[in-house]
Structure 1
Amino acid sequence: MHRVIISGIGAEIPEPVITNEELVASFNSWVDTENARRADTGEPLLQKSDSDFIVHASGVKSRHVIEREGILDPTRMSPRIPARPDDALSLEAEFGIASARKALAHAGVDGSDIDLVICSASHHQRPYPAIAIEMQEALGTKGAGFDMGLGCSSAAAALHVAVNLVRAGAHKRVLVSTPEIITGHLNFRDRQTHFIFGDASVAMVVEGLAQGEKRPGRFEVLDTRTWTQMSNNIRTNLGYYTRTAQEDPYMINLEGNLIKQVGNKVFKEVTVAGQKFIVEFLAEHGLTPGGIRRFWLHQANARMNAMILKLSFGHDVDHDRAPMVLE
């Protein structure tokens, strides 16, 4: 069994930013128009949003996005992402490559030193050809490539796969890239979810470490663990069968098919399960939360992270121990 390290990391963050105030102004403008229509039909009126609600619910104050004008247009409320010809690099591959090149440079290797590419994201631009294989060709990597996804845990799940493939000797050096363009799938007309996510791409190079070899400044992976549990409290029904359930299969109806969640139930499920998972995993290695210098938790909800840590430690934990990027 090989020792394994994360030898390189990279991140690509889009420049455009949308603040809570801008997002709320767009949403409330649409609500005004929609409520005027509903007043005539007798449908229940929609509730407006505000920045205080968003910060209290999530801790999010702003988000980086691929494209902001389309999102903030109350008549559209979706990013404008032009289609590209088949022989051009796809947006997801382009985004993934941007972070991948930074990770390769950090690791001191180039594409030809990679023998597996994993593109793991909560949403993929298409089912095939795999985005990972498109990246593989553009980067000049060897071996194979495949796509995978596990919602918000996509990067962590891919790291688990990469580490164990290297540890088993199946691959020498794996590139993991997670290009998340979640704004393309968000429902910006849903008060409960429109503020949660933005866009970003991250990448890691995972490789073996020879016996006795040292790589200062790099993280050695001692162990990884995965665990999943079914829940409908955060869900999307948009997929390649969506059109088959509709009267006109050539006109896709997005109503009810975009991301939706029951926030309070997600909070309860994740905080309880997260704390239990962390404590039990550390205990298997003779460790306690107090013996860990730093925790990197899911960066989508500050309240959720704070509660997981409080349950794990028995007291509040500061941002030095558990950094947050939401502010």
Structure 2
Amino acid sequence: MLRRTSEREVSDFAMHHSNAMTRVCVGGLGVEIPEASISNEELVESFNSWIDAENPAREARGLPPLAKSDAAFIEHASGIRRRHIYEREGILDPKRMAPVIPARGDDDLSVMAEFGAAAAQKALDHAGVAARDVDLVICASAHHQRPYPAIAIEIQKALGTGGAGFDMGLGCSSALAGLHVATNLVKAGAHRRVLVVTPELITAHLNFRDRQTHFIFGDASVAVLIEALGANEERPGRFEIVDTRSWTQFSNNIRTNFGFMSRLAQDDPSYLAMEGNLIKQNGNKVFKDVTVAGHKFIVDFLAEHGHTPETMRRFWLHQANARMNAMILKLAFGGEVGHDRAPMVLDRLGNTAAAGAIIALKENHEDMKPGEHGLLCAFGAGYSIGGALMRMM
């Protein structure tokens, strides 16, 4: 049943936020995962078929041969076994190696907005809140379909929410950056309910002919409804957000150059070559840098609130690399940490960029007891890290 904002709630909210910072909670969570999926074995077969066709041409030009991919190595290096994708057609064709997603008219709902709205509606249903009672939509995603009109405004229209909407991006930390902004806007009294939507259509931006990255990513869409709490209000089964934090440090080790400037460096600016403009990363360097930075961020953030890793019932970490998460937690705890303490969804979904940590949260929180704490944390391009310390009510 949908909850309508009552006059009493509005009055209490106005009186409270005029005098002090408002308490904030996660009112609802929504996850939309596409049905289609691709296994490591299927992806490797396609990649290696392309290599077999490409290497003779490279040899004729005097270039070194490209190395083949391997399904067992992918699982060992990343923990990924398969990934769900928005559109399977075209990805496994060695002559194309990109999803077939037809263009839509300007007056039709865009693919990204449709994907985001599906997760957003689930978050509203989970919260029991009507769309009309949301006063801000933030589309916080690592990959945006276009610069403008903002995808958030299109989602706002599709759902029928009030207020405003805007887009923001911070690589794989986008959802946490969105939560950071939303939480503090509600705490300050600027908004009462903010919907943070993170639709990640990463396979549309992925170079499936790049051995470093062709296996990493999958598609998913998530949404989180951030709501104001009364001064003494408790909502059993929901999380109060104790605090959020964001950290950045410039690095080129994860980068995309796709954008309007790319075509201007080419002989024919009417044609945009994709080579060098899609996702690329220095995997070994990223692993080392982010492991150190992620560990420090977690320990320091928790210490600010009198916590240690041991006082956290659960960690919902960015789902990029199982070995990296294990190393960060081993540094924090001084030993191995299992799925119950730090759940993983990476093995079956791949790296869903900014959506991954939210999926881990949605699937692994209902067993927590009142008063227990958890840390939601993501890290990615920038470098960037975002965290949210939460208490089960």
Q: TM-score, normalised by structure 2?
A: 0.83
Query: What's 1:128 paired with?
Result: 148
**Does the CA contact (< 8 Å) of 1:15 and 1:65 recur in 2?**
yes
List, as ranges, runs of 4+ consecutive aligned residues in structure 1 with deviation greater than 4 Å.
none
Query: What's 1:281 paired with?
Result: 301
Tell me the secondary structure at the aligned position of residue 10 of structure 1. strand
How far the C-alpha of 1:14 sits from its partner, in A, is 0.2
How far the C-alpha of 1:12 sits from its partner, in A, is 0.2
Question: How do 1:53-202 residues align onto structure 2 when only pairs under 5 Å count?
Answer: 53-202=73-222
Which whole-Å CA distance do the structure 2 matches of 1:35 and 1:68 have between them? 26
2:262 matches 1:242: yes
With 219-228 and 234-243 compared, the bigger mean Cα shift is at 234-243
Query: What's 2:4 paired with?
Result: none
Which whole-Å CA distance do the structure 2 matches of 1:148 and 1:254 have between them? 24
Tell me the secondary structure at the aligned position of residue 244 of structure 2. coil
Could you tell me which runs of 5 or more consecutive residues in structure 1 were left unpaired when the two chains were aligned: none
**Does the CA contact (< 8 Å) of 1:174 and 1:207 recur in 2?**
yes
Query: What's 1:23 paired with?
Result: 43
How far the C-alpha of 1:69 sits from its partner, in A, is 2.0
Which whole-Å CA distance do the structure 1 matches of 2:243 and 2:342 have between them? 20
- AA of the residue aligned to 1:172: R
Which whole-Å CA distance do the structure 1 matches of 2:99 and 2:239 have between them? 36
1:38 is aligned, of 40, 58, 72, to 58
**Does the CA contact (< 8 Å) of 1:60 and 1:300 recur in 2?**
no
**Does the CA contact (< 8 Å) of 1:8 and 1:105 recur in 2?**
yes
Which whole-Å CA distance do the structure 1 matches of 2:279 and 2:249 have between them? 18
Tell me the secondary structure at the aligned position of residue 145 of structure 1. strand
Deviations 1:132-163 (A, max 9, x none): 00111111111100000000011111011100
Count of matched residue pairs: 327
Deviations 1:29-61 (A, max 9, x none): 000000021122211100000111111211110
Could you tell me which runs of 5 or more consecutive residues in structure 2 were left unpaired when the two chains were aligned: 1-20, 348-393
Tell me the secondary structure at the aligned position of residue 71 of structure 1. coil
Query: What's 1:229 paired with?
Result: 249
Tell me the secondary structure at the aligned position of residue 43 of structure 2. helix
Which whole-Å CA distance do the structure 1 matches of 2:230 and 2:260 have between them? 45
Which whole-Å CA distance do the structure 2 matches of 1:37 and 1:247 have between them? 24
Which whole-Å CA distance do the structure 1 matches of 2:346 and 2:159 have between them? 31
Q: Percent identity?
A: 72
Deviations 1:198-256 (A, max 9, x none): 10000010010001111111010000011011111111111121111111111001111
Tell me the secondary structure at the aligned position of residue 211 of structure 2. coil
Structure (1/2) with the larger strand percentage: 2
Which whole-Å CA distance do the structure 1 matches of 2:115 and 2:130 have between them? 18
**Does the CA contact (< 8 Å) of 1:95 and 1:201 recur in 2?**
yes
Which whole-Å CA distance do the structure 1 matches of 2:260 and 2:79 have between them? 34
- AA of the residue aligned to 1:179: P
Query: What's 2:34 paired with?
Result: 14
Query: What's 1:308 paired with?
Result: 328
Q: TM-score, normalised by structure 1?
A: 0.99
Tell me the secondary structure at the aligned position of residue 296 of structure 1. strand
Tell me the secondary structure at the aligned position of residue 294 of structure 1. strand
**Does the CA contact (< 8 Å) of 1:148 and 1:158 recur in 2?**
yes
Deviations 1:45-101 (A, max 9, x none): 000001111112111100000111211110000011100001100000000000000
